[in-house]
């Protein structure tokens, strides 16, 4: 077991060095930066040709839980000019205990933009229908809601999914 651990540490150390001390010897099949970067050294997200782009909102080390309502933060500064077009979805890993419903809401101020919910007692990933995103800028936040004080709602991760 010690030999395996030593070998694994050696491999990971070599990988870290290769990434932290970049030179042509570390990556023999190089790609020219000019093929990736524009003249202003930026690459539009749409140019990556991703089908979906996740934007993590809530990623606690332990699940968030409540028997009422809990502001989970997840501040995402929304600007409709920076994200023109495409479809947006709210997705959450969640569950409930107590025979009710767990709900995750995406809000702009006090207005609910969208929500997902589950009655599952095991962890499940729930994606809502396409959101109608705000036409004004502002901070989007996440709220975890339980259907009753006898029901514990849990959320482990919440994210926005963008399909450009």
Q: Compute the distance between CA of residue 50 and CA of residue 65 in angstroms, rounded to an integer.
A: 33
Global confidence as pTM: 0.70
Query: pLDDT, tens digit, for every residue of 83-107?
Result: 878 899 999 999 999 999 999 999 9
Q: Which CATH class is domain 48-163?
A: mainly beta
Beta strand spans in 12-151 (E): 53-58, 64-66, 69-78, 87-97, 102-108, 111-118, 124-127, 138-146
Q: Residue ranges per domain, the chain?
A: 2-30, 48-163
pLDDT digits (tens, 9 = 90+) for 42-62: 666 666 777 888 999 998 889
| Mean pLDDT by groups of 10 residues along the chain of 164 residues | 73 66 62 59 67 89 94 88 89 97 96 97 97 94 96 96 90
Q: Rounded to an integer, what distance in angstroms lies between the CA atom of residue 93 and that of residue 78?
A: 22
């Amino acid at each position: 077991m010690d030999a395996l651990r030593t070998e694994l540490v050696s491999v990971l150390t070599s990988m870290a060095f290769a990434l932290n001390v970049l030179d042509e010897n570390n990556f023999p099949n190089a790609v020219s930066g000019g093929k990736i970067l524009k003249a202003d050294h930026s690459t539009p997200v749409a140019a990556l040709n991703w089908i979906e782009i996740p934007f993590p909102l809530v990623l606690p080390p332990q699940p968030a839980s409540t028997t009422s309502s809990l502001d989970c933060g997840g501040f995402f500064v929304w600007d409709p000019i920076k994200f023109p077009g495409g479809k947006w979805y709210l997705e959450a890993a969640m569950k409930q205990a107590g025979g009710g419903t767990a709900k995750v809401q995406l809000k702009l101020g006090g207005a609910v933009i969208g929500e997902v919910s589950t009655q599952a007692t095991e962890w499940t990933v729930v994606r809502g229908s396409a959101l109608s995103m705000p036409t004004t800028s502002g901070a989007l936040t996440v709220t975890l809601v339980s259907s009753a004080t006898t029901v514990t709602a849990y959320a482990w991760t919440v994210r926005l999914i963008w399909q450009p």
